[in-house]
Structure 1
């Protein structure tokens, strides 16, 4: 996979895993010159994500396969909507079908769940962000799905920003330093461009953290009243992030406390793949697509 673009590398690995020595069923049963016309159909409402990776699954199997999306990433759709049309050599379509669906179903599930959290926080200043609780190897795609759902990304990797958590603080305090001293010394060793965030789990920890001039304070598993007090105590000296205990039932109340950011691990670690299907639809009997009057969407 060396030299492949990230999406192509991920899809190639998935295709190799699924058919390491070819598709025995299709190659033994389906004539080599057979063709298919199929449609990606929504079995439930949601938000689309994954058009590029779905397209890549078919094109990497057979460049003769044509994939035309009728909806764009980030677009809401309803049950029964035709999201894409696929046509070309039948063997290639049948081989790529499950891999393409697996990717677009999971990414659309993440986008749909994210959109629900974003909608619940509407009217507040709070930005909904993901976490590093992603599927190993699929972070690139899952983070894209969060953006397609209207959310934002937290640090992508451990190399992108400093996030000091309770275990880090326990280690430095055990070495005889105060929290403020340790954070100030750390900041002196970092480039000025690095964002520094520190997690606290009690209100009385906030002054020592603020004294070090950090950029963001994460209030972890605070009650709503504690979040309001934390926002007031920080008073704009740093961004305020709320984390822990965030669900669709609680996010509106958390957002109303005045925090700037709400990080939600459930966007990626507890998501349900959306129900989308690839239905064979011969051109002569297919009838008009529910989205046929719209301009096709170009995918990379």
Structure 2
């Protein structure tokens, strides 16, 4: 996983790019009709039930826009929210509040939707040892906040990007000439470059799992697109020699069944690529 310093840089980059994209040379709508010295107050209003996420990120946005904006919070990231709840008040320059409004809402609506969906998976998996993982199927440019939202919802972050973990999937294996060659080449590469990265290998059959288990030092086997019965067989075959992860079109309806097969993790790209933004609004008061 990436370090706290790297994460901070990612978040800073998202905010700066968001401001560049949305404000550019200036918020002419506000500049045209709001006096420079006008002060105001607004509330973040919840209009849909779910899990709130992005409160701390919103504070970062407000501070980047205007250090003098003050935020009074009533709810925190991860709280269950209902229609009519007020998450926070923001007070200060009216122009600054309006500059920050859309970036704050876009981020929080997206993050809250992801946290809400993640929490549904977490609740379904209660009573099992299985945890839900996100994937790299994220929105380009805002991966950091989407993965942050998964954690707020109770999920676990998979690798952040291509650089912080080795994951040998079907195409890697096929291009390399098979499972054995892919793993051997990977271990040689890590040794030659003095890299200490965990290795995950995707298996498409029980036979491939047997080949993977011939190699030491594999962190996790990705049991991809297996049936329930095949997943149970795979878990028995692996027998705790490494971690196990089920993936492949797993939904809220099927997650519990895969968990009961005994896998350590279930990964779902749908946590981040198939959500509808939660309805929130920032209203002047």
Question: What TM-score do the two structures reach when normalised by structure 1?
Answer: 0.86
Q: Which moved more, 1:73-82 or 1:104-113?
A: 73-82
Q: Shift of the alpha carbon at 1:7?
A: 2.5
2:271 to 242, 267, 270: 267
2:53 corresponding residue in structure 1: 49
Greater alpha carbon shift after TM alignment, 145-154 vs 199-208: 199-208
> For 2:223, which of 219, 226, 229 is the aligned residue?
219
In 2 relative to 1, CA 100–208 (structure 1 residues): closer, same or farther, beyond 3 Å? same
Counterpart of 1:40? 44
- 1:74 match: 78
Find the residue that maps to 1:147 and give its secondary structure. helix
Encode CA deviations 1:111-167: one digit per residue, 9 max, x unaligned: 111111111111111110100111112111111111000000111111111111111
> How many angstroms apart in 2 are the aligned matches of 1:231 and 1:63?
53
Answer whether contact 2:114 2:150 (CA < 8 A) is retained: yes
Separation (CA, whole Å) in 1 of partners of 2:36 and 2:184: 68
**Contact in 2 for aligned 1:11/1:53 (Cα 8 Å):** no
Matched, 1:107 2:97: no
Deviations 1:40-79 (A, max 9, x none): 0111111122122212222222222211221111222222
Give 1:11 shift: 1.2
Residue in 2 aligned with 1:91? 95
Compute the displacement of 1:226 (Å).
1.0
CA contact (8 A) 1:48 1:73 kept: yes
Distance 1:20 1:186, change over 3 A: closer
Q: Are 2:150 and 1:146 equivalent residues in the alignment? A: yes
Output the CA distance in 2 between the equivalents of 1:54 and 1:242: 34
Out of 209, 213, 216, which is 1:210 matched to?
213
Q: Out of 250-259 and 68-77, give the one that drifted further.
A: 68-77
* Length, aligned pairs only: 274
Q: Secondary structure at the match of 1:190?
A: helix
Partner of residue 35, structure 2:
31
Quote how far apart the aligned CAs of 1:251 are.
0.9
* Structure 2, unaligned runs of 5 or more: 1-7
- Give 1:58's aligned residue: 62
Which has more radius of gyration? 1
Per the alignment, residue 155 of structure 1 pairs with 159
1:33 CA drift (Å): 2.4
Give 1:182 deviation, angstroms: 4.3
Maintained 8 Å contact 1:181/1:212? no
- Say if 2:270 is the partner of 1:277: no
Contact 2:172 2:182 in 1 (8 A): no
| Structure 1 portions without partners, runs of 5+ | 282-300
Structure 2 Cα separation of the partners of residues 270 and 209 of structure 1: 32
- Give the equivalent residue in structure 2 for 1:295: none
Aligned counterparts of 1:189 and 1:33: Cα–Cα separation in 2? 60
Within 2, Cα distance between the matches of 1:32 and 1:160? 46
Aligned-partner Cα distance in 2 for 1:184–1:13? 41
Q: Is 2:11 the partner of 1:7?
A: yes
The structure 1 segments of at least 4 consecutive aligned residues displaced by more than 3 Å after TM superposition are none
